Amino acid sequence: MAENADTGGTGGTGRTGWTGWTGGKHAFGDFAPGLVHYTDRVLFDEVWEREDLSKRDRSLVTIAALTALGKMDQLQFHLGFARQNGVTDEELQEALLHLAFYAGWPNGMGATGVLKRIVDERD
């Protein structure tokens, strides 16, 4: 954890500390400090670390929301993150097929195209 700076808060998890997430900082540097703070410290250090849902389940929920909203840029990251969180490529394919019927065929097709590129690049 490169820049460990504990804020002392627990984020409702009962844990203190910082996970070391720096995706917001990596994306925006000093350009948008508020967005960096809420992305890195609140969303990933607190919300993603809550114990009532596994990271695997959080990934599937996030993918469903991003697919339904047609947010392919964010989906690019979250499909890869889901793989890191234990969701298999087959499960992602099946989830996107299912979502196509509920979130719209173009959104399902777009999300499947993003997943295909990820699988092709990383395998």
Find out whether 103 and 65 touch, Cβ atoms under 8 Å.
no
pLDDT at res. 51: 96
- The structure's pTM equals 0.80
Q: Provide mean pLDDT across the span 107-111.
A: 98
Q: For 43-79, write each residue's pLDDT tens digit.
A: 999 999 999 999 999 999 999 999 999 999 999 999 9
Find out whether 70 and 112 touch, Cβ atoms under 8 Å.
no
What span, in angstroms and rounded, lies between the C-alpha atoms of 4 and 78?
24
The CA distances from residue 86 to 8, 55, 58, in Å, are 30, 9, 11
Proportion of the chain in helix, strand, coil states, percent, rounded to 5? 65, 0, 35
Check pLDDT > 60 for residue 84. yes
Domain ranges of the chain: 18-50, 55-122
For helices 72-84 and 89-103, what crossing angle results, to 10°?
A: 150
Among 1.10.357.10, 3.40.50.460, 1.20.1290.10, 1.20.120.160, name the CATH number for the domain at 55-122.
1.20.1290.10
Check pLDDT > 60 for residue 2. no
Q: Measured at the alpha carbon of residue 120, what is the angle toward residues 118 and 123, in degrees to the nearest 5?
A: 100
